[in-house]
Amino acid sequence: MKKVLNYWKEFFTDLKIWYRYRKAAVKNEAFLNEKGLRVDWLGRIYTVVNLPEEVENNNIPMVQQGWVLGQLRPINEVLLKIGLADYSYPSINSIEGSAAYLVVMWPEIDALNIWRFLVNLAVTAAITAIVWLGFEAAAYFEVLELIKSLKN
């Protein structure tokens, strides 16, 4: 029961963070475009980082990803100017067939997962139905009147 209640608190907190993040990203889209960053309809900020030839020739993915992480400093400075640096977490993925990585900046919002939402919604509905049925049964069997008559 406590887990379900904590989920809904986390859900609404994450929803608020996502809404504010998206609102700030869309509001500053022109500024982000000038800096080589794009914004999608969910409010994610993304860019492509191309690897230089010397890093590309090093076929160790950890070295390549480390170099890409080093290139995030200018992106973080841009995000700091618009107030999103504290909430942005990078997702770095290799682009197949090229010497580039896709970097997506997005707030960490675990509670906005569709499956977690549906499971917790079903559990909440079940608990609500059980409580409602309990009140209906108490009214049907006139439990309050029975308790009052026992006092006398």
How do the domains of the chain map onto residue ranges? 2-109, 114-151
- The pLDDT tens digits along the chain (152 residues) read 788 889 999 999 999 999 999 999 999 999 999 999 999 999 999 999 998 888 877 777 788 888 888 889 999 999 999 999 999 999 999 888 888 899 999 998 888 899 999 999 999 999 999 999 988 888 888 877 877 787 76
Of 31, 25, 65, nearest to 49 (Cα)? 65
Of 29, 42, 11, nearest to 104 (Cα)? 42
Helix (H) or strand (E) holding 62, with range, is: helix 61-70
